[in-house]
């Protein structure tokens, strides 16, 4: 596979009719944080644009970057975000209570990252992680979570069945959107699941992207922006069915699917289908309005930052999530605008944000070099962060929340 290819068919239903909705220009990879030495080189940039499938309502990136480049060495750690750890622990409890009956049951996690979810389950059943990133898989193994370092596929599924037997539960959180060939993964899931088994997958919900969330969730890792409608079409292709669905308050609003080999859709499935229709998610016009809203955020944020800098205010970034890089690069903010970005991930410290080249510092910097304004790039944790930073706020630091509309708190 070359470094990048243009997708010609819908990833969920294979329709050839894809409508361009929004282009965010050419951007570097959102998780490609740079070392000081790497600043000397020009960064590779790739088109970042989304297209809509009017047939099944799937929203998807127009271009696909080779996953070996994106995921072989990964800086993202689940355990760096306290609210995410809490979310995964609650999810582990739910899995254990609802789907695990004996210690022999097997739970397989696709994209198991540093093992945060599976380590909370490993005392109640057998667990196995699958993740291609060697550096994070090592962390999981160190916590006692056996991990296969591979991209999950039908072939890998067969190998797991041979060695470990079928899985009662397969979990995949924030990873299915990373995968180009969904048929291969869904066929693998079908192969690996036991007869009554359940595939639980959580992804960012398209309804949130165009509603209360932010366009900055769009970056090269996120190939798909799922609706219930699209996933029903996708599951049907591998002869499976969405039996339950839930909107969960993480990363803005995520959608959690329960997919099985047989069963009937729950009342919640029927209700969300109706809701998606009432939100206009089947109509192309809805996404045109969304694209206009995104352009407005760019103008407003840029105007605000320029105005504050003229007033000699010091501005920093708060959180260095991948999505922050989409936002900074689309709006055109650089080290001339933000003095630094604070982040809780040690792996990111003293690295530079791709494109904008703003330095990432440890959170203690916020008290040492106290800014006037903090641009909240981790807006999905706004509630927790605003509560955590009470002291800074009393000292006068104001937070700029960039999406869905620019506001200061
Ligand atoms: P996350 O929102 O999980 O997203 P993405 O998928 O866009 O990378 O990333 C959260 C980032 O924010 C991570 O780098 C840790 C950082 N963070 C902070 O710096 N402070 C905090 O209080 C929280 C909750 C997160």
What residues are paired with 341 via a beta bridge?
A: 317, 360
The pair of structure tokens assigned to 229 is: 């409608």
Complete DSSP assignment for 118-135? HHTTTTTSEEEEE-S-HH
Please tell me if the CB atom of residue 325 comes closer than 6 angstroms to any atom of ligand 1: no
Per-residue pLDDT at 72: 67
CA of 245 to the centre of ligand 1 (A): 25
Residue 73 pLDDT class (50, 70, 90 cuts): low
| pLDDT tens, residue by residue, 9-52 | 999 999 999 999 999 999 999 999 999 999 999 999 999 999 99
Q: How many CB atoms lie within 10 A of CB 63?
A: 16
pLDDT of residue 369: 97
pLDDT band of 194, cuts 50, 70, 90? very high
Q: Tell me the HSE value of 356 on the side-chain side, using a 13 A CA sphere.
A: 30
Q: What is the dihedral of CA 264, 270, 272, 273, to 10 degrees?
A: 100
Please give the pLDDT value at position 256: 98
| Threshold 0.85, pTM exceeds | yes
Each as own residue / partner, the long-range contacts of residues 159-162 (CB below 8 Å, 24 or more positions apart, any chain) are 160/108, 160/128, 160/130, 160/192, 161/191, 161/192
Pocket test for ligand 1, best of 321, 353, 384, 401 (most atoms within 8 A of CB): 321
- pLDDT band of residue 259 (cuts 50, 70, 90) is very high
pLDDT in tens, 367-380: 999 999 999 999 99
SS3 260: strand
Work out whether strand 398-401 and strand 407-408 pair parallel, antiparallel, or are unpaired: antiparallel
CA of 183 to the centre of ligand 1 (A): 30
Residue nearest to atom 14 of ligand 1 (CA): 321
The residue ranking higher by pLDDT, 134 or 315, is 315
User: How many whole angstroms separate alpha carbon 164 and alpha carbon 311?
Assistant: 63
Query: What stretch of H or E contains 225?
Result: strand 224-225
C-beta 126 within 6 A of ligand 1: no
Q: How far is CA 193 from the centre of its chain?
A: 24
> Is the CB of residue 241 below 6 angstroms from any atom belonging to ligand 1?
no
Tens of pLDDT, residues 89-129: 999 999 999 999 999 999 999 999 999 999 999 999 999 99
Closest to 138 in 3D by CA, of 112, 101, 160, 117: 112
Buried b (16+ CB within 10 A) or exposed e, 134-146: eebbebbeeeebb
| 138 contacts 166 by C-beta, under 8 angstroms | no
The residue whose two tokens read 């007869």 is 195
Residue nearest atom 1 of ligand 1, based on CA coordinates: 321
Which of ligand 1's atoms lies nearest the C-alpha of 348?
A: 14
DSSP letter, residue 390: H
Q: What is the token pair recorded at 297?
A: 């955020």
The minimum-distance atom of ligand 1 relative to the CA of 342 is: 19
Q: Is 140 in the pocket of ligand 1 (CB under 6 A)?
A: no
Residue 77 has pLDDT above 80, yes or no: no
Nearest-angstrom CA–CA distance, 139 and 145: 9
User: How far, in Å, is the centroid of ligand 1 from the Cα of 61?
Assistant: 23
The residue among 182, 196, 185, 171 whose CA lies nearest residue 108 is: 171
Determine what percent of the chain is predicted with pLDDT higher than 70.
99
* Helical ranges in 177-321 per DSSP H: 182-192, 206-209, 228-237, 267-278, 284-310
Q: Assess whether the C-beta atom of 76 lies below 6 angstroms from ligand 1.
A: yes
Q: Tell me, what's the pLDDT at 105?
A: 98
- Tell me, using a 6 A CB cutoff, whether residue 83 lines ligand 1: yes
Distance 342 CA to ligand 1 centre (A): 10
* Residues 309, 294: Cα–Cα separation, whole Å: 23
Q: Give the model confidence (pLDDT) of 357-368 as tens digits.
A: 999 999 999 999
Of 350, 232, 342, 239, residue with least CA distance to 281: 232
Supply the residue whose CA is at minimum distance from atom 11 of ligand 1.
Answer: 321
**Nearest-atom index, ligand 1, CA of 174:** 6
**396 and 372 in contact (C-beta within 8 Å)?**
yes
Higher pLDDT, 250 or 78: 250
- Write the residue with the smallest CA distance to atom 16 of ligand 1: 319
d(CA 173, CA 60): 18
The closest-lying atom of ligand 1 relative to the alpha carbon of residue 380 is 2
CA of 215 to the centre of ligand 1 (A): 16
| Burial status of residue 53 (CB atoms within 10 A of its CB: 0-12, 13-18, 19 or more) | buried
How many angstroms separate the CA atoms of 384 and 313, rounded? Answer: 25
Distance separating alpha carbons of residues 197 and 92, to the nearest angstrom = 16
The CA distance from 185 to 204, in Å, is 18
Which residue's CA is the closest to the ligand 1 atom numbered 22? 385
Question: Does residue 147 register a pLDDT over 80?
Answer: yes
Residue ranges in 132-241 assigned as alpha helix (H): 134-142, 154-164, 182-192, 206-209, 228-237
pLDDT exceeding 90 applies to what percent of the chain? 91
């Amino acid at each position: 596979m070359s470094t990048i290819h243009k997708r010609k068919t819908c990833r969920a239903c294979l329709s050839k009719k894809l409508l361009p909705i929004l282009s965010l220009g050419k951007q570097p990879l959102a998780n490609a944080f740079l070392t000081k030495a790497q600043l000397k080189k020009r960064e590779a940039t790739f088109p970042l644009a989304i297209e809509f499938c009017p047939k099944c309502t799937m929203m998807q990136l127009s271009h696909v970057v080779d996953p070996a480049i994106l995921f072989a060495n990964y800086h993202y750690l689940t355990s760096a975000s306290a609210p995410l750890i809490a979310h995964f622990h609650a999810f582990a409890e739910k899995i254990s209570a609802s789907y695990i009956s004996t210690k022999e049951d097997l739970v397989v996690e696709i994209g198991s990252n540093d093992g945060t979810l599976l380590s909370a389950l490993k005392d109640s059943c057998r667990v196995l992680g699958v993740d291609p990133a060697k550096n994070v898989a090592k962390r999981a193994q160190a916590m006692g979570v056996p991990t296969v370092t591979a991209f999950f596929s039908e072939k890998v599924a067969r190998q797991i069945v041979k060695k470990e037997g079928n899985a009662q539960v397969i979990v995949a959180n924030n990873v299915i959107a990373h995968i180009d060939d969904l048929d291969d993964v869904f066929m693998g899931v079908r192969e690996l699941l036991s007869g009554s088994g359940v595939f639980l997958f959580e992804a960012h919900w398209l309804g949130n992207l165009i509603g209360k969330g932010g366009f900055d969730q769009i970056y090269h890792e996120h190939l798909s922006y799922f609706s219930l409608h699209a996933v029903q079409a996708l599951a049907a292709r591998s002869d499976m069915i969405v039996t339950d669905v839930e909107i969960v308050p993480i990363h803005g609003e995520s959608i959690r699917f329960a997919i099985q080999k047989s069963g009937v859709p729950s009342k919640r499935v029927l209700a969300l289908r109706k809701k998606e229709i009432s939100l206009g998610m089947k109509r192309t016009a809805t996404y045109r309005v969304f694209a206009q809203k995104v352009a407005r955020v760019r103008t407003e944020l840029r105007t605000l930052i320029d105005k504050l800098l003229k007033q000699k205010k010091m501005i920093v970034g708060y959180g260095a999530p991948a999505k922050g890089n989409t936002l900074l690069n689309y709006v055109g903010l650089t080290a001339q605008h933000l003095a630094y970005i604070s982040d809780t991930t040690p792996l990111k410290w003293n690295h530079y944000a791709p494109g904008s080249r703003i330095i990432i510092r440890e959170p203690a910097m916020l008290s040492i070099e106290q800014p006037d304004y903090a641009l909240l790039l981790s807006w999905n944790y706004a509630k927790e962060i605003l509560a955590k930073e009470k002291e800074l706020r009393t000292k006068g630091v104001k937070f700029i929340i960039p999406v869905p509309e620019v506001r200061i708190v």
